[in-house]
Amino acid sequence: MATMLALPQEVLARVFDHVDKKNLPSIRLVCSDFETAGNPRFAKEFLTRRRHTMSLGSISTMHQIVSHSYFGPFVRTIILNCLRTADPYTPINHDSVVSGLPFQVDAEETDEETSAKCSKVIKIV
Beta bridge partners of 77: 49
Domain assignment present for residue 26? The answer is yes
Domain assignment present for residue 30? The answer is yes
| pLDDT band for position 24 (cuts 50, 70, 90) | very high
| Per-residue pLDDT tens digits for 80-116 | 777 655 555 555 444 434 444 444 445 555 666 656 6
Q: Nearest 5°: phi and psi at 78?
A: -120, 125
Domain assignment present for residue 17? The answer is yes
Rg (CA), the chain: 20
Tell me how many domains the chain contains.
1
Q: Give the burial string for 55-80 (b: 16+ CB within 10 Å, else e).
A: beebbeebeebeeeeebeebbeebeb
pLDDT, greater one: 49 or 89: 49
Domain that holds residue 20: 7-46
Largest CA distance in the chain: 71
| Per-residue pLDDT tens digits for 58-72 | 888 888 998 899 999
pLDDT computed for residue 95 by the predictor: 42
Domain assignment present for residue 107? The answer is no
Helix ranges (DSSP H) in 19-110: 24-27, 32-46, 56-67, 95-98
Domain assignment present for residue 93? The answer is no
